[in-house]
Amino acid sequence: MTNPTHIDLRDYIRDVPDFPKPGIMFKDITPLLGSPHAFNATVDHLSRPFAGERGLKVAAIESRGFIFGAAVAQHLGAGFVPIRKPGKLPWKTHRSEYALEYGTDALEIHEDAMAPGDRVIVIDDVLATGGTASAAGELVRRLGAEVVAYSIVIELTFLNGRDRLGGTPVNVAIHY
C-alpha cells in the first residue's frame, strides 16, 4: 500500500478528445473514481484545508460534483447541499443562469438550504471557464451565506476560470 499523498492524481484522469462536441478535451474522472486510492486522496485534498473548522456546509454541483461533495461533507462532518439543474429540486428554489464551456445552462438551490451566516465550501469536478462555479457561488450568497472557498478536482488553468470567482480562495487537486 503506497501513501495516498504520493500518488499522481493526473495518472487517473483520462483525456477524451471531442466529447461531448468537437474541440472539447473532456477530462474523464471515472478512472480516478474506480481507484480507492486515488478517490480517497482526492477527497482528502479537497477537504484538508477545512479540517477542524466547525459549522461548515458543503454545496456541490450536479452531477459529478455530487460524487466528491458528499464524500467531502462526510469527511468534514458538514451538512451537504445539492445545487441542481433546473426542475430537479422539489421545494422552492432560487435560480442562476450561466454559460458553460460547451453551451448554456442554469442551476438551482433550495431557498431554505442555508441561512445568513452559514459558511460554505463549493465543490465541483472541473473548473473550466468558471461560469458554473460562479453561478453556484451566487446562489449561496443570495441565501445570505458566505462562500469560504471553492474546492475543485481539476482546474483548466489556461481558461482563467478563477478570474470569475471574485478572489474567493480556490483549492484544486489537479492543475492543467
Active-site residues, by number, are 64, 101
Distance separating alpha carbons of residues 130 and 144, to the nearest angstrom: 21
Decide if 89 contacts 32 (C-beta within 8 A): no
Nearer to ligand AMP, 26 or 48 (CB): 26
- Binding region for ligand AMP (CB under 6 A) out of 4-12, 23-31, 40-48, 113-121: 23-31
Applying CB under 6 A, does 101 fall inside the site for ligand AMP?
Answer: yes
Tell me how many degrees the CA angle 162-163-168 measures, rounded to the nearest 5.
60
Applying CB under 6 A, does 129 fall inside the site for ligand AMP?
Answer: yes
Applying CB under 6 A, does 106 fall inside the site for ligand AMP?
Answer: no
Distance separating alpha carbons of residues 54 and 11, to the nearest angstrom: 33
Nearer to ligand AMP, 24 or 70 (CB): 24
Q: Which three cell numbers stand for residue 156?
A: 483548466
- Binding region for ligand AMP (CB under 6 A) out of 24-32, 75-83, 139-147, 166-174: 24-32
Q: Smallest distance from the beta carbon of 2 to ligand AMP, in angstroms?
A: 27
Using CA atoms in the order 46, 8, 33, 103, what is the torsion angle rounded to 10 degrees?
Answer: 70
- Binding region for ligand AMP (CB under 6 A) out of 21-29, 38-46, 81-89, 137-145: 21-29
Distance separating alpha carbons of residues 2 and 74, to the nearest angstrom: 24
Q: Smallest distance from the beta carbon of 174 to ligand AMP, in angstroms?
A: 12
Host H or E run for residue 17 = strand 14-17
Q: Smallest distance from the beta carbon of 33 to ligand AMP, in angstroms?
A: 13
Say what angle helices 64-76 and 36-47 make with each other, to 10 degrees.
70
Applying CB under 6 A, does 100 fall inside the site for ligand AMP?
Answer: yes
Residues lying near ligand AMP in the complex (CB under 6 A) are found at 24-27, 61, 64, 100-101, 124-133, 161
